[in-house]
A and B are shown apart, each in its own frame.
Chain A
């Protein structure tokens, strides 16, 4: 019996299978921890304690989650249009330039709530700009978007290092970073939000960008499922030939989808640059663009799923720091292993368990 085409109810496809994949990823992560001689359950308990055990921990968790919501949405929008944007990392990096330029030019004159909309716009424009060339090459010249976006990650990294080392650096300083923004270029923390739940934020950089990220989730949801453009993108994602046959302009839709994707990736820069460090630094993205791939895959490319997955990865990042502090045998890079395993099981081996589950489900259904 070929089980690939048998329909399964939604709770299996969207609930059980992702859950099994996640459990498998964590099982293998646990094996690694056990292999290097630590107790995986202790590590898990420490991780949860570090990420959720205090107001400060939750603040850091949500701060990381904010990054991943932006990059997850970025990847998801592209996937809906059938495009695999591996370039969120580079788009976020260049987006940081847009956000920083706005902050550097406005922070003398206006308060943060005037700077913020322009910073969002600047970040989105620069991020989208960085996605434009790969999008154009895919749409008009048929160059594979995966390859070109990978190339643009590296080109973007080289460009940003050049600008930070040679142009934006504070004269006389060694560190390749811009000057620290004044009050008008820094986003306020959300300590009042934490206080509502009786928690103290402490030094955690949880800031207004989180709310922007939530708004973007709603915007992306409306765009994908409630607009004509979203419908066109989804059609293109399912079958480019059918989309073209139905009169959907291929090149235009591809380019717009990638611009939106790049713009969302760019906005991620808001959180670390304006919300946390208050200056533009080398490598500030720190892999969040790639985490976006895992987040989008786990969240099934839906904004609600992306929020949950982003929080999960936030827990991993913050809790992982805590674990590496308490268990010196486990380094911080354990997070990268878990992330890789999640991408492997939730993405590449997505349908590994499906045939077995389908067989089980249909034999149960027949008996019932």
Chain B
């Protein structure tokens, strides 16, 4: 393979590995901009992956799988809301609890229902989201650079991939161009002011965590029904935390979120490519360096060495209405 072919294949897998991160980081964006920290992204993603795989297997329809994934993920969002908004519990503890419950429950239920050690049965092709070949691939194939890039990076992905990258401008539009978005951002900075304006802080924050639940539903479904063809235990494998890191790395802004996710996706793809290969002069680069890099970069950012990351001011603080 020459250099260009390698680049195309790495970029292609960058896109595929970024999709769950984009959905999940946007989920975190909605929740955290409204002042509700969400450590439970990982758990919601995993729950969605499991339920999507189960329903897609039973109904042989990936769309019903998606609906199930979103439904279950939203249910966990509401639980998070009930604990941290209604009962003013610690948001981080609630997120940790959700991650544990889901990590255990998916395996317990998976084993009880399917008896395959926590896996769900392999999905048939019609139960999955399959790659879409965009028009014009053949026409452009002959053109150097653009042709292969279009055929292997832009085209040939499944519908959820395109939805993920569509979700970025939509989230931007909702957050910065609608009344709901303005209020959502306000409630994350100064809930007292929002309350004074006669708007319910509780209801706004519930809507924000529901948005987060919907987006986590997409990311989980992508994992189990588009990227793989079954639920595998612990298949989210820390992606929820990487998405959280991407969200911070992007300083809680939608378009930078996409680029941060692409960067972390690229690191992942590059690590896969580099496995077992040696670099001239340096020798074999340990794959663990690439695995740790997103977290190291985020810590350096948090330390204030690459600009300043200011979290939403009211983040993590339950709102108590004066009586």
Contact = CB atoms under 8 A, between A and B. Distances in A.
A195 B210 CA distance: 56
Interface string B300-311: 001110000001
Interface stretch (A106-114, A227-235, A271-279, A342-350): A342-350
Given A141-B302, A143-B304, A155-B295, A86 B96 contact: yes
B302 A137 contact: yes
Given A337-B105, A347-B96, A347-B97, 18 more contacts: A137-B299, A137-B303, A151-B241, A154-B291, A166-B286, A290-B96, A329-B112, A331-B111, A333-B104, A336-B104, A337-B100, A340-B99, A341-B101, A347-B90, A348-B89, A348-B97, A349-B94, A351-B88
B288 A161 contact: yes
B39 A146 contact: yes
Main secondary structure of the interface of A (DSSP, over half): helix
A133 interface: yes
A339 interface: yes
Contact of B302 (A148, A159, A341, A352): A148
Given A143-B304, A329-B112, A348-B84, A86 B92 contact: yes
B92 A84 contact: yes
Contacts, number: 152
Given A159-B292, A333-B118, A347-B93, A340 B103 contact: yes
Interface residues of A, number: 49
A330 B11 CA distance: 42
Contact of B108 (A142, A144, A331): A331
B97 A340 contact: yes
A330 B244 CA distance: 32
A343 B80 CA distance: 13
Chain A CB within 10 Å, residue with most, of B39, B97, B245, B291: B97
Contacts of B84: 348
22 contacts: A36-B108, A137-B299, A147-B244, A150-B241, A158-B289, A158-B292, A162-B288, A329-B112, A330-B108, A333-B103, A334-B108, A337-B100, A337-B108, A340-B98, A340-B103, A343-B93, A344-B79, A344-B101, A347-B90, A348-B83, A349-B94, A351-B87
A152 B294 CA distance: 11
Contacts of B93: 293, 297, 343, 347-348
B89 A350 contact: yes
B179 interface: no
B271 to A, nearest CB: 11
Interface of A: 2, 4, 32, 36-37, 84, 86, 133, 137, 141-144, 146-148, 150-152, 154-155, 158-159, 161-162, 166, 290, 293, 297, 329-331, 333-341, 343-344, 347-352
Contacts of B288: 158-159, 161-162
A344 B111 CA distance: 24
B124 interface: no
A11 B276 CA distance: 61
Nearest to B112: A36
Contacts of B101: 336-337, 340-341, 344
Nearest to A329: B112
Interface in B139-185: none
B136 interface: no
B321 to A, nearest CB: 10
Contacts of A142: 304
B298 interface: yes
Q: What are the 5 tightest A-B residue pairs by CB atom distance, in nearest-first order? A: A340-B100, A336-B104, A340-B101, A348-B94, A337-B104
Contacts of A338: 104
Contacts of B292: 154-155, 158-159
Given A144-B311, A343-B96, A36 B109 contact: yes
B112 A37 contact: yes
B296 interface: yes
B299 A152 contact: yes
Given A36-B109, A147-B302, A329-B112, A336 B238 contact: no
